[in-house]
Amino acid sequence: MIPVLIGTLLALVALAFVLYPLFSGNMALIPQSHSSGSDIQISKVDALREIEFDHATGKLSESDYGKLKASYTAQALAEMREAQSDACPACGSPREAEALFCSQCGIRLGA
Amino acid sequence: MILVGELSLWVALLMAVWATTVSFAGATTRRADLIASGERGVYAVAAMTILAALGLWTAIFTHDFSIKYVASFTSANLPKVYLFTSLWAGQAGSLLFWMLVLSVFAAIAVFTNRTRHRELMPYVTGTMAFVMVFFLATLCLGANPFERLDWVPPDGRGMNPQLQNPGMAIHPPMLYLGFIATTVPFAFAIGALFTRRLNSEWLVAVRRWTLLAWFFLTIGIVLGMWWAYVELGWGGYWAWDPVENASLLPWLTLTAFLHSVMVQEKRGMLRKWNVTLIIASFLLTILGTFITRSGIIASVHSFAQSPIGPWFVGFLILGITVSAYLVTTRLKDLKSEAVLESMVSREAAFLYNNLVLVGIAFSVLWGTLFPVISEAVRGDRITVGPPFFNTVNVPLGLLLLLLTGVGPLIAWRRASVSNLRRQFTVPAAGAVIVGGLLVAAGMRNGYALVSYVLAVFVAGTIVQEFYKGVKARKSMYGESLNLALFRLIGRNRRRYGGYIVHAGIVIIFAAFAGYAFKTEHDVTMKAGDSVTLTDPWGKSWTFTSQGISQYDVLNREVTAMALETRREGKSVGIITSERRQYFAGSDPMSRVPTFQPSTEVGIHGSFGQDVYLTLVGVAGEGAGEIRIAFNPLVRWVWLGGFMMAIGGLIVMWPQAERRRRESGYVTQLAPEHDMVGAER
């Protein structure tokens, strides 16, 4: 008799725990997010930092270094400008979508 | 508590089935409530499995011999520490232990990703839950650790003496942690394939898990070698035993992955390859478990055998089929972003390294399965021994060692001649000089010579990397020597931690090469007899027998032979080797011997060599037959393994984002009007 009771109790507690979300009335769908297609995940600033170090330790030839540095610098600047357009101009914290005020410092954000 | 444990196993199975079902349902319908319920299911499985393990431990510690597992693998006189480890000393218990670790890992993976990778996670949760369904079903239906006997024996059979060793307390858990940690990356790979989100997202999510798996496998393998060396009395640490091979296989594929993933991150190449390596690593752990458990191939691990083999074969076939289907239907999404520009480049070096690692894995797999294959094809079982494995793998291993030195030094995309010359002159010159010296000193063993030359070359490249890195930091940021070295490693843990792992590999290869010079002598000695032998370093050793003694310790009867040992005439102490006969019961008149007698080797270790004594038997009239071996450089194997683990830790250590940002470059963008000026 006792085994049956313990087993039922264990099963009931576990069931209540896992079924709770289904009865909490939250029928929302998870938002669809798109993954960017590229694998290359190091930022251009990091890439720049890396080739500078590779050059200093003699792994990159002078001509390769010049070419890569020019191209990465341009890309890094573009990347940073893009990143900054999403930041609060006063405190630099990230700006939430469609926010009218910065959630960190409270300054009014332009449209 | 025991009853709670038994029942919670069944509840865990129910929860795992539920978690699998709702997670995949949630993934296809995108319903948040189903997904949340699936994730809670994983937590519930973990809680129930912990209860089950506590239940079995309770049965073991209270000596409840009505439970078959407790009666089969423990006894009333077993020391406490081995009562604790007996959870993984037998089949059903070790499966429960496996499940325990798996459920905790799965819960951690779900918890740490509760706000991240929301598209992938339902599939990841579902896949992990499905793997747990398999293990729980095997436990409940195939090998139940709570199975009861019809009668209660007065005492248990006790634990296999070979398992009564401190190494056995940590070696299996470490290997299990490594094996089981591959489940999480596998689940992410399956999730990425299902969702076709095959860019770097899943790679980021699994980075730490793959490192963790690799780290624990490395420690587990080295500890296993140590256990074999001190406990099995083979006289060696690696014998290409099927189960050793089974632990090596996923280590090889994971090592390959840890290298090739860098190519995908940097250049967007090798997508198919990486996803395949992760799937292969997981399936190889299942294959390894199957080999250990099924008894299909004779091995030193035969103590863990049982008839659950078919369960694993079924699971393996299912795993291969689903993975193969997913990969082949997503080939378009797995296309590379770039092509290989030159065969002399970092990415090409990584590719060669991968080919060699996978080549070794294939040869080991082939050799391990050969007895089964030959039996199926020709009807008779042919076992391939160490000669096969050594013939194939020693050259491949040396090639790998060479690549360990070459890879890190050449540039991405395309290496120029001047780049090669600048990087390789010093290490290559050092290697040639050392090779010349060794030949002059009379070394004629070809493989050993090549090993040492390559080891010096690779060690040279590593030292050069640290030297150049420190120098660059000193000149770029004006740091002191110590600070530059500290920051060099701290700010680029993956690269420099990796070099430390490589240094460990170099040490291990050098130690392996030293083993080629091992010498062995069988002698029979009475009390007072002496024998003088010369070791591989040319020093003379004198061993004088102190006779044989017999006495009882805890749960065993010991026959010991002690040799007073002198090196070049100077005493280094007494080395003792034992034969042990374990018994059940404490009354000397009625106790019964359990298991075959086992050997406890006597070791006098130094960095040059181990003097390794094995008591082979007693010849009568107080004479003992003893094998005296000189095993060169063995201690360096453990040291190299330790270094690999330290390097692995450095690579894994979390790096604070803020510190990373500060390293080197100022990344603040000047206001627009200043920029215009600067660009001009």
What contacts B337, CB < 8 A, 6 or more positions away? A38, A39, A40, B267, B268, B269
Q: Name the more confident of A31 and B21.
A: B21
Q: What is the mean pLDDT of residues B76-95?
A: 87
Reported as a pLDDT band with limits 50, 70 and 90, residue A83 is low
Amino acid B294: pLDDT: 65
Query: Residue B33 and residue A42: Cβ atoms within 8 Å?
Result: no
Query: Stretch B84-113: mean pLDDT, rounded?
Result: 92
| CA B445 – CA B463 distance, rounded (Å) | 27
Of the pLDDT bands very low, low, confident and very high (cuts 50, 70, 90), residue B666 is: very low
Question: Do B33 and A56 lie within an 8 Å CB cutoff?
Answer: no
Average pLDDT over residues B604-625: 87
Q: Do the beta carbons of residue B405 and residue B461 sit within 8 Å?
A: yes
Pick B120 or B582 by higher pLDDT: B120
Q: Say how many C-beta atoms besides its own lie within 10 A of residue B377's C-beta.
A: 9
The answer to whether A14 contacts B48, with C-beta atoms less than 8 Å apart, is: yes
One-letter amino acid for residue B115 of the chain: T
d(CA B288, CA B309): 11
Give B234-262 pLDDT, tens digit per residue: 667 888 888 888 889 999 999 999 999 88
List of chain A residues whose C-beta atoms are within 8 Å of the C-beta of residue B414: 64
Candidates B667, B668, B679: best to mutate against A (most CBs of A within 10 A) is B667
Contact residues, chain B, for A42 at CB < 8 Å:
265-266
Sequence-distant (6+) residues with CB within 8 A of A9 are none
Least confident of A46-60, B72-86, B191-205, B451-465: A46-60
User: Mean pLDDT of all residues in chain B?
Assistant: 86
B53-64 tens-digit pLDDT: 999 999 999 999
Q: Does B33 contact A24 at a Cβ distance shorter than 8 Å?
A: yes
The residues, any chain, with a CB within 8 Å of residue B568's CB and separated by 6 or more, are B539, B540
For the stretch B227-240, what's the b/e string if a residue is b when 16 or more beta carbons lie within 10 angstroms of its beta carbon? bbbbbbbebbbbbb
Residue B470 DSSP class: H
By Cβ distance, the residue of A6, A27, A60 closest to B3 is A6
Q: Which value, to the nearest 10 degrees, does the dihedral of the CA atoms of residues B99, B105, B110, B116 take?
A: -150
Report which DSSP code applies to B148: B
At B675, the pLDDT band (50, 70, 90 cuts) reads very low
Select the more confidently predicted residue: B253 or B227: B253
Interface confidence, given as ipTM, is 0.70
Q: Is A20 within 8 Å of chain B by CB?
A: yes
Report the distance separating Cα B507 and Cα B390, nearest Å: 19
**Contacting residues of A for B423, CB less than 8 Å apart:** 58-59
pLDDT at B374: 81
Rounded to two decimals, the pTM is 0.87
